[in-house]
Amino acid sequence: MSDDSFIREVEDELRSDQLNTFWSKYKYLVIGGAVALVLGTAGKQGWDYWQNSIAAASGDRFIAAVELSNDGKHDEAIAALESLSADGSGQYPALAKIRLAAEFAKNDEPEKAVEAFDAIAGDSSFDESLRNVARLRSGLLLVDHGSYDEVAERLLSMADTGKSFRHSAREGLGLSAWKAKDYKQALVWFSAITEDGQAPAGVQERARIMMQLLAGQGVKPEETQEG
């Protein structure tokens, strides 16, 4: 046997002895760690599965509530949405609150609808875009069921140049001012719509019609002041 072969055999024996010593001393820790890793992975998968199952169940409840609404069963839909908003999982409680507010409006309960939309608009846990939608819906409901000041409280900040919902906000403010017989202020808002090149065609057309009606009241654009 060559010296190199002898040295390799000795090194192999040493490694084997070291491995045996290490295993004898730490085998329970190694086994425990392996078991913990397997259980941890299985536990996470089980938790994910459970969470997904709960979310799926909430999704089914939300769809069922929407179907009740579509069938005209608004009282039942409201009860289902109230339950889901209280104990649902994932994003469904938030969606249920938004749908619930709309359901109040459909069920001819504007005060409850405004209260519900206002609650969403003031809830920082909601995404800002959803809060703005709720604020807009609340303001538009108040065009028919509130004062100009109440509408302005919700829509004025949304009517600024560059804001995403400015066209609808301006239209709501204009209609509310018209109802309040503040024709000059109404014309300010409708003029702002027609002068905005990004305003949707339908909104612009309605604004022009309102401006014609205002002209019939003797209110002309040159008589208005910026509001």
| CB 94 within 8 Å of CB 126 | yes
Q: For the segment 26-70, what is each residue's pLDDT rounded down to a tens digit?
A: 555 555 565 555 555 545 454 344 445 556 788 888 889 889 888
Q: Mean pLDDT, the chain, as a whole number?
A: 80
Does residue 178 fall inside a structural domain?
A: no
Share of the chain above pLDDT 70, in %: 73
- Among 136, 137, 125, 129, which Cα is nearest to 85's? 125
Beta carbons within 10 angstroms of residue 174's beta carbon: 28
Type of residue found at 119: A
Does residue 79 fall inside a structural domain?
A: yes
Does residue 206 fall inside a structural domain?
A: no
Task: Pull the structure tokens for residue 191.
Answer: 């003029």
| CB 135 within 8 Å of CB 121 | yes
Does residue 66 fall inside a structural domain?
A: yes
CA distance 226 to 10: 96
Total domain count, the chain: 1
CA distance 61 to 88: 9
CA distance 67 to 112: 21
Does residue 84 fall inside a structural domain?
A: yes
Does residue 132 fall inside a structural domain?
A: no
Among 15-24, 125-134, 164-173, the range of highest mean pLDDT: 164-173
Does residue 187 fall inside a structural domain?
A: no
Q: For the segment 146-193, what is each residue's pLDDT rounded down to a tens digit?
A: 999 999 999 999 999 999 999 999 999 999 999 999 999 999 999 999
CA distance 84 to 65: 9
